[in-house]
Structure 1
Amino acid sequence: MNDDQQLSRVERRRRELERERLEELSRDEQVNPGEAEDEVIRPSPESKQAEGQDHPFLDRSDEKRTETNNNRKRKVQAPKLKMPFGKKAKRQKREDKREPRSHDTKERVPKQQSSVPPKQKPQKDKRKRRSWKGKLLLVLLLLVIGVGYMASNPVTFLVMGSDARVGESVSGSRTDSLQLMEFVPRSRTVQNVSIPRDTYTTIPCEPEREGDKITHAFAYGGAECTVGAVEGLTETSVDGQVVITFETFMELIDVVGGVNITATHSFSEKGFNQTYEYTEGVSYSMDGDMALAYARHRKSDTDGARSSRQTEVMSAVADKLVSPAGWSKIPATYSFMKDEMGLEMNPLQMASVGLTMMLQPEVNKLQVDGQDAYIDNVYYYQPNEESVQSIRDALDLTMWGTVR
């Protein structure tokens, strides 16, 4: 009886152990389903008892602990998917947007490299800069060519010498001399026409009269009327003009620092400061007072010779300005002539005049020829039609200096 009861307890204990083992296996399958296949089949208590192993009533706590530890190791080794959160989640989202991941290798896909090598970009920039600089140089070259072309056109300039004394007003005065100069840079020539003050011609501001002395045009209508009378006589267009008085003439010579002139005639003339002696062929360094006395003299020769001397003085002024030593005087001279002498000339016309004088031009001196005449007992200088026509033809030039 005691053995049967003991066996029945053994049987009951075996069944409990078997049930516990099955429960543990079921838990392992729930946690790691794939490891159930690799589970090693353990021998039953009966087989162990048959092989002479420990009795089933012995304490199996060590075996349980070993199995439990193995199960924990399997649980630890099992991969777990951790989901990022907080700042890590935001950073991960930004990285995922920037660099997509490959699902197979879980590696970042490298960014697509630019088809243009990095070294070629600076070369393109250099080419662009060179192209821009080349275009700018081309535009500047075309601009210089255009300005040079415009500045090389002939320019006609009228110099009106007023007989107003020092301290007198120019208004109401008459022109003591008239010099019409045509500058032709491309042919390196200057046409200088001297018009005597008593020349009989039509005056625009005196429509009721058939003609009058050309010197009266300035007294009746100023510079504008004088320009119109000269244009009507020579049939040419006047581009620029200037009015010179005795006072401004002397100041102009002093502004440029004096002029060097070789006398073309021997005479003496009284100036404002002293009396000056001039000898033909002798060069003089003249200030304003001495140059004015030289240009004013008219007692020992003709009006034509006087006009020539005035041309000599004006040419000496131009030569002084175009020389390297006189370049610094150009701004002050231009300002003085514009403010005090009524200079009317645009920059291109001034460039044409300056270019002509720098080329050491040939000066062709022309003068209106005529004879003395009295009309209603008033003296006039009656010009010859042949002389006037020859002057008109000489002034009718192309830009190359040839007659049209």
Structure 2
Amino acid sequence: MNNHLKRTDRWNQRKENKNKWKKGIKISLLSFLVLSLLLGGYLFYTFNQFGSSIFRNAQGEKPDQTQDNEFGISDLFTNSFDRPLNVLVLGVDAREDQSFEGARSDTIMVMRIDPKTKQVATVSFPRDTYVRIPKYGYQKINHSMAYGGIPLLEATIEENFGITIDNYIAIDFVAFTEIVDALGGLEVYTPSSMYYIASDIQVELTPGFHHLNGEELLGYVRYRHDAEGDFGRIKRQQYVIRALAEKAVSAKTILKAPKLLDILGEHISTDLSKQDLFSIMKTYHSFSKADWHPMTLSGTPGRSSRDNLWYYYYDEEDKQKVLEHLDKYSSVKQFE
């Protein structure tokens, strides 16, 4: 049995035994903000209502009410987060009028969380990264989402990097713009002009400081037409996510928690249970940006002689840096 079939069997078994709904409706780059909001220690009732709305089945529909994913008072004293987890954080260009089916992931991140160290290590993978996709051969990593959804993307990451994915979190772009607006926007600095107008992205910024609303910030984080290309885009995403996470857990934001969680509840998808989410929240109740350690897969962009397309190439040394980074902030070393 090849690796892909083993990975598929494990996926099916996990779905059956744990009663988790694996395929979300829509996804976006703001996935990390979900964790930050939960880490803020919001009221039990608000959390419970939020948790009721984020679970989806394979068709992106809310599960039948008879499904057992309830969360009661006794669960406040139960901890299911007892080992390090690798959480896949995804993003695609999905809007309210678009289907999740066949979408390509716009942002791909693996987040390693640990109940002992209480640190968060993340690795971002450029969407043009040249990898082997099971059954489809060598292509860009973001194509795997379009071919086989989250299961195939997980299998692709495991086969190419040796990282087993335990869970996923995903949100769409509507959540990004609405959350940014609810938080009052964000100030950014642009060292040079940024201009690009298309159907899916619009950005017009002069050099200097700018206070951006949700739509403007979405253009800012998706822009990739400067000298750094996709690598610069990832750096902007990491800055914005960190800044928004800091805003989300601030004292001034607590009163906005119900509204923020309502927005997220309509636009996120995860296979983490309510108990998992609450256990993570308790573990990271004092989370700050100092506990978050991001990095990006290093490599070299280049044009392929095979199909004349641009790819982001990495080698064994680049891969090893990723594994060492994930292990560095964890109590359990997976990749030694």
| TM-score > 0.5, shorter chain as reference | yes
Work out the CA distance in 1 between the residues paired with 2:224 and 2:289.
32
Q: Give how far 1:165 is off.
A: 5.5
Q: Give, in whole Å, the separation in 2 of the partners of 1:234 and 1:383.
A: 11
Relative to 1, partners in 2 of residues 1:270 and 1:396: Cα closer, same or farther, differing over 3 Å? same
Report the Cα offset of residue 378 of structure 1. 4.6
Asked if 1:391 is matched to 2:322, the reply is yes
Q: CA deviation at 1:166?
A: 6.3
Aligned positions of 1:285-296 closer than 5 A: 285-296=211-222
Whether 2:149 is the aligned partner of 1:218: answer no
- Size of the aligned set, in residue pairs, is 254
1:324 has 2:251 as partner: yes
Cα distance in structure 2, aligned partners of 1:162 and 1:178:
9
2:191 and 2:96 map into 1 onto residues whose CA distance is: 26
Rounded Cα–Cα distance in structure 2 between residues aligned with 1:196 and 1:182: 18
- 1:230 is aligned to 2:160: no
Matches within 5 A, 1:283-362: 284-300=210-226, 301-345=228-272, 346-348=276-278, 350-351=280-281, 354-355=284-285, 357-358=287-288, 360-362=290-292
Contact 2:92 2:107 in 1 (8 A): yes
Larger Rg: 1
Identity value in percent: 26
- Paired amino acid for 1:232: E
Q: Give a deviation string over 1:135-174, Cα, whole Å, max 9, x none.
A: xxxxx9xx86x74xx6585443322221345633222121
Give the deviation of 1:188 after TM superposition: 5.9
Q: Distance in 1 between matches of 2:279 and 2:231?
A: 27
SS in 2 for 1:219: helix
In structure 2, C-alpha distance between the alignment counterparts of 1:322 and 1:306, rounded to whole Å:
25
CA change 1:173–1:364 in 2 (3 A) is closer
Q: CA RMSD in A?
A: 3.5
- Find 1:201's aligned residue among 131, 137, 148: 131
Shift of 1:199: 1.3
Preserved CA contact (<8 Å) 1:182 1:395: yes
Q: CA deviation at 1:348?
A: 4.2
Which deviates further from its counterpart, 242-251 or 382-391?
A: 242-251
| 1:268 lines up with 2:223 in the alignment | no
Aligned to 2:307: 377
SS of residue paired to 1:360: helix
Alignment of 1:29-44 (within 5 A): none
Answer 1 or 2: higher relative contact order, Cα 8 Å, separation at least 6.
Answer: 2
- Could you tell me which of 179, 183, 186 is aligned with 1:252? 179
- Which amino acid letter does the alignment assign opposite residue 224 of structure 1? P
With the length of structure 1 as denominator, give the TM-score of the two structures: 0.53
Alignment of 1:105-254 (within 5 A): 147=79, 154-164=84-94, 167-184=97-114, 187=117, 189-204=119-134, 207=135, 209-254=136-181
SS at match of 2:133: coil
TM superposition score normalised by structure 2:
0.62
* Structure 2: runs of 5 or more not aligned: 1-72
Q: 1:370 corresponds to which letter in structure 2?
A: T
Which range is displaced more, 311-320 or 338-347?
338-347
1:195 positional shift: 0.8
Which protein is richer in helix relative to its size?
A: 1
Q: How does 1:54-93 map to 2 (within 5 A)?
A: none
Change (3 A) 1:362 1:223: closer
